[in-house]
Amino acid sequence: MEHELRRAAFGDSPGRDVWEALSASSSRLRWLAAVVLGGQGHYAAAATVLDALRHDPDPVIASLALSTRASHHRQLGAHHLARPLDGLAFERVRTADGGDPDGIDALGARTDALLGLAADSLGAGRLAEARRLHARVEETGAWRGSVRRGWVSAEIELASGQAHAAVAPAEEAYGVSTSTGALRHELKSALVLGTALVVWGTPDGTTRGVELVECELNHSAEMGLHPLIWPSALVLVGHATTVGAVAINRATEALSCVLRRADPVSRQVALDSPWVPTGLLRSGEPPNADPQTNFLTD
Q: Is the pLDDT of residue 290 over 60?
A: no
pLDDT for the residue 98: 87
Long-range contacts, stretch 173-181, CB < 8 angstroms, 24+ apart: 173/146, 173/147, 173/148, 173/149, 174/150, 176/143, 176/146, 176/147, 176/150, 177/143, 177/147, 180/143, 180/147, 181/11, 181/12
CATH number of the structural domain spanning residue 97: 1.25.40
- 221 in a domain, yes or no? yes
Q: Is the distance from CB of 194 to CB of 212 less than 8 angstroms? A: yes
- 190 in a domain, yes or no? yes
Q: Is the pLDDT of residue 294 over 60?
A: no
- 12 in a domain, yes or no? yes
- Res. 286 pLDDT band, cuts 50 70 90: very low
Q: What is the dihedral of CA 254, 257, 259, 262, to 10 degrees?
A: -130
Q: Is the distance from CB of 250 to CB of 237 less than 8 angstroms? A: no
Nearest to 78 by CA among 274, 278, 291: 274
Q: CB 49: neighbour CB atoms within 10 A?
A: 22
- Res. 281 pLDDT band, cuts 50 70 90: confident
* Of 55-64, 193-202, 240-249, the least confident: 240-249
| Mean per-residue pLDDT, 238-267 | 84
pLDDT for the residue 298: 55
pLDDT for the residue 275: 81
Q: Is the distance from CB of 36 to CB of 16 less than 8 angstroms? A: yes
Q: Is the distance from CB of 235 to CB of 213 less than 8 angstroms? A: yes
pLDDT for the residue 283: 52
Query: In 3-state terms, what secondary structure has residue 74?
Result: helix
Q: Is the pLDDT of residue 264 over 80?
A: yes
| Mean per-residue pLDDT, 254-274 | 90
Q: Is the pLDDT of residue 209 over 90?
A: yes
Nearest to 270 by CA among 76, 72, 1: 76
For the stretch 85-124, pLDDT in tens is 999 999 999 888 889 999 999 999 999 999 999 999 999 9
Q: Is the distance from CB of 53 to CB of 27 less than 8 angstroms? A: yes
Rounded distance, CA 13 to CA 40, Å? 11
pLDDT for the residue 249: 87
* Cα atoms in the 13 Å half-sphere on the side-chain side of 213: 32
- 298 in a domain, yes or no? no
For the stretch 146-182, pLDDT in tens is 999 999 999 999 999 999 999 999 999 999 999 999 9
Q: Which domain holds residue 213?
A: 2-293
Rounded distance, CA 53 to CA 48, Å? 9
- 159 in a domain, yes or no? yes
| Mean per-residue pLDDT, 244-273 | 88
Number of domains in the chain: 1
Residues of the chain with pLDDT > 70, as a percent, come to 92
pLDDT for the residue 288: 46
More confident residue, 52 or 95: 52
- 208 in a domain, yes or no? yes
Q: Is the pLDDT of residue 127 over 60?
A: yes
Mean pLDDT score across all residues of the chain: 91
Most confident of 6-10, 277-281, 287-291: 6-10
Q: Is the distance from CB of 117 to CB of 87 less than 8 angstroms? A: yes
Q: What is the dihedral of CA 38, 167, 11, 92, to 10 degrees?
A: -60
Q: Is the pLDDT of residue 280 over 80?
A: no
Q: Is the pLDDT of residue 234 over 90?
A: no
- 240 in a domain, yes or no? yes
